[in-house]
Amino acid sequence: MSNMKKNYQMKVDVLLGLQWGDEGKGKVVDVLTPRYDVITRFQGGPNAGHTLEFNNIKHVLHTIPSGIFRGDKINIIGNGVVIDPSIFKKEIQSLKNIGFDLTKTLYISKKAHLILPTHRLLDAASESAKGDSKIGSTLKGIGPTYRDKIGREGLRVGDILHNFEEKYRARVDQHIELLTKFYNFDYKQALQDYEKQWFEGIEVIKQFQLVDSEHFINDLLLAGKSVIAEGAQGTMLDIDFGSYPFVTSSNTIAAGACTGLGIAPGKIGKVYGIFKAYCTRVGSGPFPTELLNETGDTLRRIGNEFGSTTGRPRRCGWLDLVALRYAIMINGVTDLIMMKADVMDQFETIKICTSYFIEGELTRNFPNEIDDGVIPVYEELAGWKTDLTAVDAISKFPEALNRYILFIEEFLQVPITIVSVGPNRSQTIER
């Protein structure tokens, strides 16, 4: 009986972005990994770009969980993830080049869906057909792949093991019909260029341990192993709760960890919610606190706000507590993590959005529709005017930073347990 109780105590902690992605998830997963036995990804695909920095190495991961630099942990790509074999192969190769061989430590779910070369082309065709109303997708084929998954026409990693060529051809032929007849899209050269590396990627995937990951993860929990699930994108890009249609095509929220890994809701433990001390967004869609001025440019320059996957400049703005409060509600966040505080080191004053003014009324509730009629209302706090990148203990935090943190905690009613003051692994302070 006592043993039974112990087993049931093992939970999956989830770490996810509370804004529009790029909050710094990769860095924090790497920092927290020593506390866990297992690190998993549960949704998204190579639209993600998760950056880690340590010992003068800067690395951007797209498909692979961010725990891989910490010795022989178990890393799992869960069923909710979509994998582009060609990008996967490149990732594996570049890790090998710096001395990390993952064939023994990385497991891949047989139920994870494959991004086919034609999914990428369909993404490009669909975006170009949308013209001015395009989503600003990363063009990695994410939308079309999840569309095929939900439409029950996708190909999964497990399909690689039986009659794969045949299944592949049938899907690609149908995609080509769509590309030519519906989109009038010239696909031939691009497909030819991509297919070869894509099939090489399939061979690379075969070298890994392909598993029934739902059994694998639940068995690990039963064996007393601790698990952290690494989200991709952010809550405001969630397919249900983000600013639809300017969202990604998966559930980026805590509930996505259940469906993306095959774990029961009661098995979710802590939910770490990550946010930047300000806001960014890449791609189209509403962004109430966006700064289309010099301050926005300063945040972009100092924060080096250029996409890790596409290199596109990120749109920048003040911290939005209305949106953050909504994200905390949807995810059941237990611990907040504030990133990139150092980016505002030299600001005289810092604004925080605490409500929206909509049709003559003030509200703290995140509305269903965001348009030009939503006017952010700000409080202004003093800046700390201190170089935080060299600060190594909470006792050395300047008073103005403490006030900024307390203001956010009081508004959101969730503790900020980690503050990040630079991109390096070591520039992370626990409270």
Residue numbers of the site for ligand GDP (CB under 6 A)?
17, 21-27, 48-51, 53, 308, 339-340, 342-343, 420-423
Q: How many CB atoms lie within 10 A of CB 320?
A: 27
User: Backbone dihedral region of 115: left (phi > 0), alpha (psi from -120 to 50 degrees) or beta?
Assistant: beta
The pattern of x and - marking residues 138 through 167 that bind ligand IMO according to CB under 6 A reads x-x-xx------------------------
> Least distance from C-beta 406 to ligand IMO, angstroms?
27
If one asks whether residue 121 binds ligand IMO (CB under 6 A), the answer comes out as: no
Closest CA to 153 of 128, 182, 181, 122: 122
Q: Nearest to ligand GDP by Cβ — which residue?
A: 51
**One-letter amino acid of 347:** F
Q: Nearest to ligand IMO by Cβ — which residue?
A: 283
Tokens 């009081």, located at residue: 410
> Least distance from C-beta 25 to Mg ion, angstroms?
7
In the numeric block, which tokens belong to residue 376? Answer: 């952010």
Active-site residue, selected from the candidate residues 13, 22, 37, 123: 22
Active-site residue, selected from the candidate residues 30, 37, 50, 345: 50
Per partner kind, with CB cut-offs from 5 to 8 A, the member of Mg ion, ligand GDP, ligand IMO, none near residue 320 is none
If one asks whether residue 30 binds ligand IMO (CB under 6 A), the answer comes out as: no
List the alpha helices (DSSP H) in 238-305. 254-261, 294-302
Strand partners, 380: 351
> Least distance from C-beta 52 to ligand IMO, angstroms?
12
Q: In the complex with ligand IMO, which residue's Cβ is closer, 308 or 386?
A: 308
Q: In the complex with ligand IMO, which residue's Cβ is closer, 237 or 255?
A: 237
**One-letter amino acid of 22:** D
Q: What does 318-375 look like in DSSP terms, one character per residue? A: -EEHHHHHHHHHHHT--EEEEE-GGGGTT-SEEEEEEEEEETTEEE-SPPS--STTEE
Strand partners, 227: 12, 38
Strand partners, 82: 113
Distance CA 253, CA 236 (A): 9
- Quick check: is 162 catalytic? no
Per partner kind, with CB cut-offs from 5 to 8 A, the member of Mg ion, ligand GDP, ligand IMO, none near residue 421 is ligand GDP
- Quick check: is 22 catalytic? yes
Q: In the complex with ligand GDP, which residue's Cβ is closer, 210 or 429?
A: 429
Q: How many CB atoms lie within 10 A of CB 379?
A: 13
If one asks whether residue 300 binds ligand IMO (CB under 6 A), the answer comes out as: no
* Contact residues: ligand IMO, CB under 6 A: 17, 20-22, 47-50, 135-138, 140, 142-143, 232-234, 237, 248-249, 282-283, 308
Which residues belong to the active site? 22, 50
